Amino acid sequence: MKFDRNSFRRLALVASLALASQASLAADRKIVVLQALTGVASFVGVPASEGMKFAADELNARKFLGNDRIVVEVADSASARAQAMAAVTRYAADPSVLFILGPTTAVEAIPSAGVANDAKIGVKAMTNAVSMLAAGPWGFISAQPPSITMPQLGDYALDVAKVRSCATIRFSDNEAYVDLERLFVEHTQKRGMKFVDRTGIKQADSDFSTIATRIVAAKPDCVVLFTLGPSAANLAIQLRQAGLPASVKLIGQTGLSSPQLVSIGGAAVEGLVFNSDWTPGGNTPASQAFAAAYRARTGKDADNWAALGYSYMTVVAHAIKAAGPNPTRELIRDALSKTKDVPVVVGTGRYSYVDRIPTYGSIFLMVKDGKFVVAPQ
C-alpha cells in the first residue's frame, strides 16, 4: 500500500486529534488538606498533612485514578475553631473542591461539620469524636472512637499491666479526650478497677505541680493520661518530681504517639505504655514499604500522624475512584460511607466504615531507651 504526502498528513491529524481527545478526558480531582499547621495541634497537623501529600503523589505516580490526577491544596486551620470553620466555608464555595481532608482536632471539627453539612461538602477530620457525626451525613471521623479503643486499653491495663488502682488526667476542653477517659473508666470499673483521682486540665496548661502532689499522695498503681504528647511529657516530669515512684505505671492512648513525648519527657516517660495506630518502621510489608519510601523522600522517619495522614488520603482516593468517572461531592460522600477493607499502613492494615465509624485495629507501644517499641502483650 502506498501513501502520498496528504495521506500522512491526514493520519497525523487523526493521531493528534485522538491524543487531544484522550487528554481532554483527564481531570483534576481537588482535595483540600485542612490541618493545624500552627497552634497547639500543629505537631499532629504538620506530619499528617505531609503524609497526605505523600500519598497523593504516590497515587498519582501509579495512576490510581487512571488519567485523572489528585490535586492537593494545603490550608492551615491554626488549631482554631473559627479559622477552621471559615476555611470550610471558603472551600465549599469553590466548585472545583470535591472533598476536605480535615480539620485536625475535635475542637475544630465539631463546629466545622455543621458548616460542611450546610454547604454539602464532605469533611474527614482527624478526630475520633463521634459527636461530630450528629451534624449530618457530610462529616466523617477518621480515628477509631473510644467505644472501640478504650475497652482494649482497659483490658490491657488490667490483664497485662496488672494495675488495679489508678488516677486519670484528661483534657477537659477537648470532647474527644473527655470521652476517652469516661469510657475507659466505665469499662474498667465494671471489671473492678478503682480510681483514686480523676482530674481535668486545659490544653494550654503547663503547671501541674498541685495535681501531681495530690495524685502522688493518693498512691495509685498507675496514672492514665488522656492528653496529647507534649502535655503528657510535662505531666510525667512533674509527677516524678513530686515523688511518683518508678513502680507506678504510666499508661496513655494514641494522642501520645508523638516524638515530643520522648524529646520533652526524657527519663520521666520511660516505660510508659499506650495504644497506637502505627508501629515505628511498620508492622506489615505495606507499612514497611511506606516507612522506607517516606524516609527516602523526606529524610525523616514517619510518625503516627504521618502514617495516619497517608492512610486517610488513601481511603478518600478509593472513595473518589468508587464514585465513578464523574465524581461529585455527593457520590464521593456515599462511596466513602461504604468503605470496606481499604488497604492502609496503620492498625492491622484494613480500613472500613460502619455508620461512619472507622475500624482498622490497634497495637500497644511503650517507651524504651527513648524510643517507641512494641509493648509486652
| Res. 376: pLDDT tops 50 | yes
The DSSP 8-state label assigned to residue 344 in this structure reads -
Task: Assess whether 220 and 327 both reside in one domain.
Answer: no
Global pTM reads: 0.78
Domain count of the chain?
A: 2
Dihedral (Cα; 181, 182, 185, 186), 10-degree rounding = -150
Q: Measuring CA to CA, which residue among 173, 169, 197 is closest to residue 181?
A: 169
Residue 118 lies in a domain: yes
Task: Assess whether 30 and 76 both reside in one domain.
Answer: yes
Residue 87 lies in a domain: yes
Task: Assess whether 162 and 260 both reside in one domain.
Answer: yes
Residue 9 lies in a domain: no
Q: Measuring CA to CA, which residue among 3, 67, 1 is closest to residue 29?
A: 67
Q: Report residue 23's pLDDT band, with 50, 70 and 90 as the boundaries.
A: very low
**Contact by Cβ (8 Å): 333, 245:** no
Task: Assess whether 105 and 159 both reside in one domain.
Answer: no
Task: Assess whether 60 and 77 both reside in one domain.
Answer: yes
User: How much is the pLDDT for 26?
Assistant: 85
Task: Assess whether 133 and 157 both reside in one domain.
Answer: no
User: How much is the pLDDT for 19?
Assistant: 44
Residue 289 lies in a domain: yes
Measure CA of the first residue to CA of the last residue in the chain; give whole Å.
76
Task: Give me the domain span that covers residue 310.
Answer: 26-144+282-360
Strand-by-strand arrangement of the 342-343 sheet: 342-343, 350-354, 357-359
pLDDT digits (tens, 9 = 90+) for 136-176: 999 999 999 989 999 999 999 999 999 999 999 999 999 88
Task: Assess whether 140 and 158 both reside in one domain.
Answer: no
Instruction: Please state, in angstroms and rounded to a whole number, the distance separating the CA atoms of residues 254 and 358.
Output: 15
Task: Assess whether 48 and 168 both reside in one domain.
Answer: no
Domain boundary among 237, 257, 276: 276
**Average model confidence (pLDDT) for the chain?**
93
Residue 369 lies in a domain: no
- For 130, other C-beta atoms within 10 Å of its C-beta total 18
Domain boundary among 276, 306, 326: 276
C-alpha cell at 164: 488495679
Task: Assess whether 140 and 233 both reside in one domain.
Answer: no
Burial class (CB in 10 A: 0-12, 13-18, 19+), 104: buried
Task: Assess whether 263 and 300 both reside in one domain.
Answer: no
Task: Assess whether 138 and 175 both reside in one domain.
Answer: no
Q: Which of 230-239, 256-265, 312-321, 349-358 has the lowest mean pLDDT?
A: 256-265
Task: Give me the CATH number covering residue 70.
Answer: 3.40.50.2300
Task: Assess whether 140 and 162 both reside in one domain.
Answer: no
Domain boundary among 220, 254, 276: 276
| Res. 243: pLDDT tops 90 | yes
Exposure letters 274-307 (e unless 16+ CB within 10 A, then b): bbbbbbbebbbeebeebbeebeeeeeeebbbbbb
Residue 1 lies in a domain: no
Residue 36 lies in a domain: yes
User: How much is the pLDDT for 10?
Assistant: 57
| Res. 52: pLDDT tops 90 | yes
Distances, alpha carbon 376 to alpha carbons 111, 226, 273, 365, in Å: 39, 21, 9, 8
User: How much is the pLDDT for 20?
Assistant: 42
Residue 234 lies in a domain: yes
| Span 358-362, average pLDDT | 91
